[in-house]
């Protein structure tokens, strides 16, 4: 019993450390990628013993500065709720990572240890539920600030997130019809086969329209450009208008956590998760003939590495999109969700049903 608890605690610490460090690193990626696109150098002033390393120390300097900034709250705000709002946003996003499988199970000390904090039977529903609860942080922040501009931002955020959650849910129905399980680890296992004898059985190949709807709706859920209506810096109506210091840092950090969660879900649901094409427990078996033996520990390393590379790619893609496209108008934003993504999600479900019935 004690060993089981210890294993879970170790997995929680490792998962949280990986997630937070990646979110911290994404702040550097964001600033550097925007600098490259705008022909600037970007953040590079922070140094340790004279070493700057392309600005890699900058995220840690920013985090230290944020910790020691004044924790200001307006006198007219509801202080308890004002403090609670960023914590709510951060918690409900961070906790979703416990259901994400980082790799296949490993065998240590006579135990089979899945590289996943908790293998829930309804993991997909758990993830969607936790992401949905994050909306309370946005609503509470606008209400507790007693600021009309912050309240407008929180109302925009509520309307946007609720609207795009419909499209997000519809995009996953077709996936569940193809991979009949709600366990994320089970969905990854289903993607270990081949289609047409050579193509990996990844969700993106079986549900291309579902993936497009999922990723676009997921980007809207992250509230970043071109879907950043709840913040709208140039319009000064952000739901965190009255926040500063560490509480503002939590809101900003939550945005990057949402980028990571969307990348991890896109990887897990549509790109095979930790699966490597043609790699099995004993090594590579190529569809054109031939094989390559790989040690069990090397298979695990390759699988975890493949998961990380896929997640990094989707994080980079979201940052690239953020600095490429302009913001939607609010009516365009709502029209895109209800008049484009939701109908496409329904079409994907119907098409999937017809194909499965015709098999």
Query: Which run of H or E residues covers position 245?
Result: helix 245-270
pLDDT of residue 332: 95
Q: What per-residue confidence (pLDDT) applies to 196?
A: 84
Whole-number Å distance between alpha carbons of 315 and 299: 24
| Residue 232: predicted pLDDT | 79
Question: Roughly what angle, to the nearest 10 degrees, separates helices 2-37 and 245-270?
Answer: 100
Residue range 83-109, pLDDT digits in tens: 999 999 999 999 999 999 999 999 887
Confidence of residue 202 (pLDDT cuts 50, 70, 90): very high
pTM of the model: 0.95
Quickly list DSSP for 121-158.
TTHHHHHHHHHHHTHHHHHHHHHHTT-HHHHHHHHHHH
DSSP E strand boundaries for the chain = 106-108, 111-113, 194-195, 199-200, 279-280, 283-285, 291-293
User: Measured between alpha carbons, how far apart are the two ends of the chain, in Å?
Assistant: 47
Mean pLDDT of the chain: 93
Strand order, beta sheet including 279-280: 279-280, 283-285, 291-293
pLDDT at residue 347 tops 90: yes
Long-range (24+ apart) CB contacts under 8 A made by 299-303 are 299/104, 300/103, 300/104, 300/106, 300/115, 302/276, 303/103, 303/104, 303/274, 303/275, 303/276, 303/279
Per-residue pLDDT at 231 = 84
Percentage above 90 pLDDT, the chain: 76
Tokens 């289903």 sit on residue? 190
The answer, yes or no, to whether residue 168 has pLDDT greater than 90, is yes
Mean per-residue pLDDT for 132-155? 92
3-class secondary structure, 27? helix
In tens, the pLDDT along 203-225 reads: 999 999 999 999 999 999 999 98
* Residue 3 or 271, more confident: 271
């Amino acid at each position: 019993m004690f060993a089981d608890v210890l294993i879970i605690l170790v997995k929680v610490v490792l998962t949280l450390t990986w997630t937070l460090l990646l979110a911290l690193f994404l702040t550097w990626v964001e600033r550097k990628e925007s600098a490259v696109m705008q022909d600037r150098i970007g953040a590079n002033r922070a140094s340790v013993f004279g070493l700057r390393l392309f600005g890699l120390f900058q995220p840690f300097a920013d985090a230290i500065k944020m910790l020691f900034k004044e924790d200001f709250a307006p006198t007219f705000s509801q202080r308890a709720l004002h403090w609670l709002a960023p914590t709510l946003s951060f918690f409900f996003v961070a906790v979703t990572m416990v259901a994400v499988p980082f790799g296949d199970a490993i065998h240590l000390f006579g135990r089979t240890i899945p590289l996943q904090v908790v293998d829930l039977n309804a993991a997909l529903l758990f993830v969607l539920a936790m992401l949905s609860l994050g909306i309370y942080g946005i609503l509470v922040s606008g209400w507790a600030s007693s600021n009309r501009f912050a309240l407008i931002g929180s109302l925009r955020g509520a309307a946007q997130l609720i609207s795009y959650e419909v499209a997000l849910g519809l995009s996953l129905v077709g996936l569940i019809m193809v991979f009949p399980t709600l366990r994320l680890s089970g969905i990854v296992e289903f993607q270990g086969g081949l289609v047409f004898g050579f193509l990996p059985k990844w969700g993106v190949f079986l549900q291309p329209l579902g993936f497009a709807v999922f990723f676009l709706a997921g980007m809207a859920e992250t509230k970043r450009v071109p879907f950043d209506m709840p913040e709208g810096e140039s319009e000064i109506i952000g739901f965190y208008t009255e926040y500063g210091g560490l509480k503002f840092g939590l809101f900003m950090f939550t945005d990057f956590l949402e980028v990571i969660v969307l990348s991890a879900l896109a990887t897990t649901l549509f790109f095979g998760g930790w699966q490597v094409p043609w790699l099995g427990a004993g090594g590579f078996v190529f569809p054109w003939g031939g094989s390559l033996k790989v040690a069990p520990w090397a298979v695990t390393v390759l699988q975890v590495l493949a998961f990380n590379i896929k997640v990094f790619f989707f994080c980079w893609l979201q940052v690239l999109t953020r600095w490429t496209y302009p913001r939607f108008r609010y009516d365009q934003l709502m029209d895109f969700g209800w008049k484009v993504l939701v109908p496409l999600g329904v079409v994907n479900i119907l098409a999937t049903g017809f194909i499965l019935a015709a098999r």
